[in-house]
Structure 1
Amino acid sequence: MTNYQGSCHCGAVTFSIATEITDLYRCDCSLCHMKNAVMTTVHEDRFTLLGGEDRLSEYNWNTGVARHFFCSTCGIYPFHKKRTSPDHYGINVNCLAGFDASSLPVRAAEGKTMTVKSAGARDAWSGPRET
């Protein structure tokens, strides 16, 4: 198990994750598309917020299940609690010290059809898009 240290740009928000990063993805929902983050997923038991809880701003939209966190000082998005797996965090790997995001392929994650809660919207995520 590898321990990674992460932070926002200004260093006000710091966290660590304990995991082997084997999967990177970029979601195509409207929010993720605009922030263009490269993500990995970790169980909440492997995530520790080390500092800056008072600096975190939270953004919720649509169903309000996903909890997107941003540093209120520098605006960087380091992580979110996932809508599809509420006991997991999506981690912006570009915020991890010493992690080379070019070391793994980045898959496309389908989120576009989950961005709008409307009549007939599916109840569950269908899984990653095949590339």
Structure 2
Amino acid sequence: MKYQGSCHCKAVQFEFQSDEITTALQCNCSICLRKNAIMSQQSYSPSDFKLLSEKANLAIYHWGDEEVNHYFCKTCGVYPFHDTTEQPGYYRINLGCVDDLEPRELAIIQFDGRNEL
């Protein structure tokens, strides 16, 4: 299936290919708790993910070990996806930014990012 998504103001738009999304991931680390994001369980490869808007519309926030690139829209501040410095271009999607998908209705898997080593 092809999914499309965006930040709130639509300055950041993207699409990705995926099997039907039926599950999601929610992490309890300090940044994920504050973002309250419900994430895709899988990361999408560069061949499955396409940024449709200008990369200049995005900013990156790094926290702690700086291994995760937390992307956010420079205009509205919404966080649509992230990748890691270990696997750049393999994006985990904020499912709240995906059109025609209700993330709170998915089976949500809790991830203990707070205590992961």
Unpaired segments ≥5 residues, structure 1: 115-121, 123-131
Q: Decide whether the 8 Å contact of 1:79 with 1:92 is kept in 2.
A: yes
Equivalences for residues 1-131 of structure 1 within 5 A = 2-20=1-19, 21-40=21-40, 41-44=42-45, 45-82=47-84, 86=87, 88-114=90-116, 122=117
Deviations 1:14-43 (A, max 9, x none): 000100223301101100010001110232
Q: Decide whether the 8 Å contact of 1:25 with 1:106 is kept in 2.
A: yes
Unpaired segments ≥5 residues, structure 2: none
Equivalent residues, number:
113
Name the SS for the 1:112 alignment partner: coil
* TM-score, normalised relative to structure 2: 0.87
Range that drifts further, 86-95 or 9-18 = 86-95
Q: Which has the higher contact order (CA 8 A, sep 6+)?
A: 2
Task: Determine the structure 2 residue equivalent to 1:119.
Answer: none
Return the alpha-carbon distance in structure 2 between the equivalents of residues 12 and 43 of structure 1. 21
Name the SS for the 1:57 alignment partner: strand
Return the alpha-carbon distance in structure 2 between the equivalents of residues 24 and 10 of structure 1. 24
Name the SS for the 1:31 alignment partner: helix
* TM-score, normalised relative to structure 1: 0.78
Q: CA 1:42/1:22 → structure 2, altered by over 3 Å: closer, same or farther?
A: farther
Aligned-pair Cα RMSD in Å: 1.7
Range that drifts further, 28-37 or 13-22 = 13-22
Q: Which structure's CA Rg is the greater one?
A: 1
Name the SS for the 1:4 alignment partner: strand
Q: CA deviation at 1:61?
A: 1.7
